[in-house]
Chain A
Amino acid sequence: MKVLVAVKRVVDYNVKIRVKSDNTGVETANVKMSMNPFDEIAVEEAVRLKEAGTASEVVAVSLGVKQCQETLRTALAMGADRAILVETEAELQPLAVAKLLKEVVAKESPDMVLLGKQAIDDDANQTGQMLAALMGWAQGTFASKITLADGKAEVVREVDGGLETVSVNLPLVATTDLRLNEPRYASLPNIMKAKKKPLDTLTPDELGVDVAPRLTTLKVEEPPVRQAGIKVPDVATLIDKLKTEAKVI
């Protein structure tokens, strides 16, 4: 079977995010960018399926600016076989990404698409679900375990209050949660091999997708600075303050 993995280039998780002074977004100039950590988990899962002999080919796909090539090279160094970049300078919102992925899926005919459950930049948590809906495929989101057998998948999902196991037919869109696996780091020989693996570039035009944003960002702001707490002498004062100051009870 063939697995398609979507990987997004995001601000590195170690970087302290700064809001642009004109409040239109966050600062990305001269900021270290990396693969979205949930997507690393998706790549790892796909590569493990290949190593186990379940998957025959792993194709990584990224959507966005030219520099997404670096993110794709990371996926290739981890073990993906080849990569596709859908290159555009346009702002891509989840629906546009899902539509583009749908066209890539139509070209590639994978049996499974793996994505991170969300990207750590906009935390939208929408693309996987939208793609499944557009394709009319089964979905297994927030996966902490994926077992494949006989054209079916058993996906253990991390849901509020516990774990839910669903059994779905392939083809499948699965999104990864944190506990699915621990991604490997690339070895030096694999980094070198990745440089020679095929990386094809497409454009939204070629795929016939209109990526114009449907949502408008009004303003991006720093979260309010958290005020220091206070100590109260006893429970009575606490209840009084919750009633009269915080007005929560």
Chain B
Amino acid sequence: MSDIPRLVEAHDDIRDAVRKLCADFPGPYWRWLDRERAYPRDFVAALTEAGYLAALIPEEYGGSGLPLSAAAAILEEIQRAGCNGAACHAQMYVMGTVLRHGSEEQKRRWLPEVASGRLRLQAFAVTEPTSGTDTTSLSTTAVRDGDGYVVNGQKVWTSRAEHSDLMLLLARTTPRDQVKKRTDGLSVFLVDMREVKGKGLSIQPIPTMMNHNTTELFFEDMRIGADCLVGEEGKGFRYILDGMNAERILIAAECVGDARWFIEKAVTYANERVVFGRPIGQNQGIQFPLARAHAQSEAAALMVDSALARYEAGVPCGAQANMAKMLASEAAWAAGEAAIQTHGGFGFAEEYDIERKFRETRLYQVAPISTNLILSYLAEHVLGLPRSY
């Protein structure tokens, strides 16, 4: 437990309980999944059953109605215990789009199902192979046709699509040359994938350097009902942007958890491993990178808190959320780097879990938004420098 004064509630009771749950899913479980490239079904089921994935869903829809800081505490503890929240974290923030912009009917229909775990809302399909970070130039289209829409196009890096029932999809409903602003004309749909799999939707897994269960999606005349549309047609990009701060803050909290896990592991090892008749941790060459990573992760944790406090107070938090995500992902990487170096050869042995976490935490400097794009955002919107792209 860190003893820094906090700007938001620490949720120690929730942290304790999450840690206990995670203790049932130790290193060997994750190593086995990693080898098999399997989805952590039991882990996600345990989290769902204990209500953690429904933390943010309001009580009237079957969740606990907690503030974002509770979700951040849950995800940080998962990572800090050596587990991997990437298998299910999306549910925490994807749900927000439905909650904020969905109709009362959509909320009543879907949220209690998601809260109870009967349905999984884990897939979030935004990125496309050709548009990349330039989201507004995405080319998947949803064309109105009678009482529904017909979707054509392709998504890439849609994580967990094979392990989710519902998907939040961003597609263009008005061609780019017919809208005033490029951010207009995009719409968000909540798609029940069980109804369209094999009928216009095909899912192709993408093997990656870590066990992430990410996929490619192909839409070929995929028919969905008009009731899948979330909010108003053409305003989807704004809805997605709305949810991004929560997503960034939560990913940052996970990275803080990773950093703390790496540092704890490395410090323990550095105190125990004796070479040249002294613990390796007695050497400054081993101490300093760990001390530096610790400083970085504590700073990042403060930025996460700052972003959370602003988010919960309902004031703009884009700058803090982005900075938190960047600083935390870099702190986790620095901690991972120090941990692997501290472990020497053993850092490469699967048995120590360091190499697995090392591969897993690298992602967060790229997804859900890469560091360069955060820097561009800060330069342009916080510092007032000219837009660089």
Contacts and interface: CB of A to CB of B under 8 A. Distances in A.
Interface in B1-21: 1, 3, 12-14, 16-17, 20-21
Contacts of A54: none
Contact of B17 (A32, A70, A77): A77
B349 interface: no
B54 interface: yes
A185 B13 contact: no
Most chain A CB neighbours (cut-off 10 Å) among B1, B13, B55, B64: B13
Contacts of B1: 32
Contacts of A34: 16
B50 A187 contact: yes
A102 interface: no
7 contacts: A34-B16, A73-B13, A74-B13, A186-B13, A186-B17, A186-B50, A188-B55
Interface string B44-73: 000001111011000000001010000000
Most chain A CB neighbours (cut-off 10 Å) among B3, B49, B51: B51
B20 A185 contact: yes
Contacts of B55: 188
A189 B13 contact: no
A192 interface: yes
Interface residues of B, number: 17
Contacts of A188: 14, 17, 50-52, 54-55, 64, 66
A22 B50 CA distance: 44
Interface in A184-201: 185-189, 191-192, 194
A139 B66 CA distance: 44
Contacts of A74: 13, 16
Nearest to A194: B13
A185 B51 contact: no
A30 interface: yes
Contacts of B16: 34, 74
Main secondary structure of the interface of B (DSSP, over half): helix
Given A34-B16, A73-B13, A74-B13, A187 B51 contact: yes
B292 to A, nearest CB: 22
B10 to A, nearest CB: 12
A32 B10 CA distance: 14
Given A188-B54, A188-B66, 7 more contacts: A73-B13, A187-B17, A187-B51, A188-B51, A189-B51, A191-B17, A194-B13
Nearest to B47: A188
Interface string A154-175: 0000000000000000000000
10 closest A-B pairs by CB: A188-B51, A185-B20, A187-B50, A186-B17, A185-B21, A189-B51, A187-B51, A188-B64, A188-B52, A185-B17
A193 to B, nearest CB: 10
A77 B12 CA distance: 13
A186 B14 CA distance: 9
Nearest to B23: A185
Interface string A17-32: 0000000000000101
A55 to B, nearest CB: 23
Interface string A79-106: 0000000000000000000000000000
Contacts of B51: 187-189
A185 B3 contact: no
Contacts of B64: 188-189, 192
Contacts of B21: 185
Contacts of A191: 13-14, 17
Contacts of A32: 1
A58 to B, nearest CB: 18
A246 B17 CA distance: 48
Given A187-B49, A188-B50, A77 B13 contact: yes
Interface string A39-81: 0000000000000000000000000000000100110010000
B50 A70 contact: no
Most chain B CB neighbours (cut-off 10 Å) among A30, A188, A189, A192: A188
Interface string B217-253: 0000000000000000000000000000000000000
Nearest to A35: B16
Contacts of B49: 187
A69 to B, nearest CB: 11
A13 to B, nearest CB: 11
A185 B12 contact: no
A98 B55 CA distance: 40
B263 to A, nearest CB: 15
A70 to B, nearest CB: 7
A151 B55 CA distance: 43
Contacts of A186: 13, 17, 20, 50
A30 B1 CA distance: 9
B266 to A, nearest CB: 16
Nearest to A195: B13
Contacts of A189: 51, 64
A178 to B, nearest CB: 16
Nearest to A191: B13
Interface in B140-197: none
Nearest to B271: A16
Contacts of A192: 64, 66
